[in-house]
Amino acid sequence: MTATDAGAPPKKQRWTAQWKELYSEVITTGLCTGCAGCVVTCPHDVIGYEHEEGKYIPFHLEQELGLDNCIHGEKGCTTCTRACPRFGAWEPSADMHLFGRTRQPDEMAGIWRQLYLTRASDDMVHKMGQDGGLVSAMLIWLREHDYIDAALVSGVENDDAWKAKPVVVVTKEEILATAGSRYTYCANPMALPEAKERGLDRLALVGMGCQTSSPPTMWDRKAGKVSKPFQFNIGLLCSKTFDDAIFTELFEAKYGLKKQDIVKMNIKGVFQIWMKDGSYHEVNLKECHAWTRKGCTHCPDFAAEHADVSTGGIGEDNDWTLTIVRTELGEEVIERMIADGSIIAKPAQTDETAMRLLRLLSIVSRRRWPQDADPNPAVGVPPPKKKAAAEPAPAPAD
């Protein structure tokens, strides 16, 4: 080394990974969550996606070089790997971009600034919301205060109230019509092309951690103008989603609960199901495991660690949204919403159940990350305790 080399920062390696590497390192290894980040960012529109039962995985539309290679990639296009929040060292990449540092080993739920329990002040918004209605209240507020033009969220098919589909929402009515949780997968980024066609440039993305890690990963890896529309990122805490087949194969076949008669679902230690006729049913979560969507089995991110604000329902009281404020922008918005009375907030640290579950469920998810993948998501994760001395198993909650 010469004297002039000694103090120089290490040169960043040129990013050359393309679909070929995405296919071999993420898609065929089972790390792919089906978030659709690669699909919506591909500048050549050669990545397809099937939003159907048992699929939720990208595939290459051009066959010249086979399923596992891309002619545009061979010519230097690298956008898909830059956008993928499971490719390479994605966790430190998104951390650095959002927070200017990587998470400490004991920060199991990611980096945050404030922890609140919140609820919408507007009774209608609160009623329509899954928990405290914070997400819907925030989308309405962001629109009214000119932070965004629209949001990418999960709606449902016209003829099936439980078949989730990615949609663009603009008005308060549209936002409220898509409130509440569906527990099957919905790749909300897939609504991006519609937003673009409609000239809606400033967007909020609502999604589970697998989806909300995508914009900061793209920004950090300089995926280009495709990452610009994402202005605000709202995360949903998540342990898993289920295949659509759970409705017919379990709920209907075993319990006679027809999909079209279900009015509300929630997960609070058990699958809670409310029916049109006013009846209420509980299904043991262990029974549901067989319908876990494949893309969730290795996912390490319970707490949606790369959002501006992450939200969940693990508090002692169902009527509040656990609100993890992570970025400066998230803090600005939450503080303004509290100040103008749009939401009611209290410190979450007073809710011991929520705090305990947030840590435990974050650990449980991180333990799923394969040992032969990038090591970062597993950093600091305590090994499982031996059965006799084990912490009580966390009740999956939502």
Ligand X SMILES: Cc1cc2nc3c(=O)[nH]c(=O)nc-3n(C[C@H](O)[C@H](O)[C@H](O)COP(=O)(O)OP(=O)(O)OC[C@H]3O[C@@H](n4cnc5c(N)ncnc54)[C@H](O)[C@@H]3O)c2cc1C
Interacting partner of 27 out of ligand SF4, ligand X, none (Cβ under 5 to 8 A depending on kind): ligand SF4
Tokens describing residue 383:
């090994």
Q: How far apart are CA 313 and CA 35, in angstroms?
A: 22
Query: Angle 251-257-262 (CA atoms, 0-180°, nearest 5)?
Result: 105
Of 27, 152, 270, 322, the residue at the interface with ligand SF4 (CB under 6 A) is 27
Choose between 133 and 216: whose C-beta lies nearer to ligand X. 133
Closest to 43 (Cα-Cα) out of 225, 291, 254: 225
Instruction: Give, as one character, the DSSP assignment of residue 9.
Output: P
Strand, helix or coil for residue 319: coil
38 closest CA partner among 55, 60, 16: 60
Does position 78 interact with ligand X (CB under 6 A)? The reply is no
Taking the complex as a whole, the smallest distance from the CB of residue 233 to ligand SF4 amounts, in Å, to: 13
Binding-site member from 238, 288, 345, 354 for ligand SF4 (CB under 6 A): 238
Six-digit token string for 351 = 């809710």
Is residue 209 close enough to count as binding ligand SF4 by CB under 6 A?
A: yes
| Least distance CB 222 / ligand X (angstroms) | 27
Among 18, 19, 25, 32, binds ligand SF4 (CB under 6 A): 32
Q: Rg of the Cα trace of the chain?
A: 21
Contacts of 307 (CB under 8 A, 6+ apart): 209, 212, 233, 234, 235, 324, 326, 330
Site track for ligand X across 212-241, x = CB under 6 A: ------------------------xxxx-x
HSE-CB for 259 with a 13 A CA cutoff: 17
Reported as type and span, the H/E element at residue 192 is helix 192-197
Hey, which residues does 284 pair with through a beta bridge?
270
- Cβ at position 194, least distance to ligand X in Å: 15
CB of 364 to ligand SF4, least distance (A): 11
Query: Which run of H or of E encompasses 285?
Result: helix 285-288
Residues 129-168 that bind ligand SF4 (CB under 6 A): none
Element (H or E) spanning 273, and its range?
strand 270-275
Crossing angle for the helix pair 134-144 and 328-339, to the nearest 10 degrees:
90
71-79, 88-96, 313-321, 380-388 -> range binding ligand X (CB under 6 A): 313-321
Site for ligand SF4 in 59-88 (CB under 6 A): 83-84, 86
Q: Does 25 interact with ligand X (rule: CB under 6 A)?
A: no
Among 34, 180, 209, 295, binds ligand X (CB under 6 A): 180
Q: Is 307 in the site for ligand SF4 (CB under 6 A)?
A: no
The smaller minimum CB distance to ligand SF4, of residues 133 and 312, is found at: 312
Min dist CB 204 to ligand SF4, Å, is 18
Query: Which tokens in the block code for residue 229?
Result: 């529309």
The residues of the shown chain that bind ligand SF4, judged by CB under 6 A, are 22, 26-27, 32-38, 58, 83-84, 86, 185, 208-210, 238-241, 295-296, 299, 301
The residues of the shown chain that bind ligand X, judged by CB under 6 A, are 129-136, 153-154, 164, 178-183, 186, 188, 206-208, 236-239, 241, 311-314, 321, 396-398
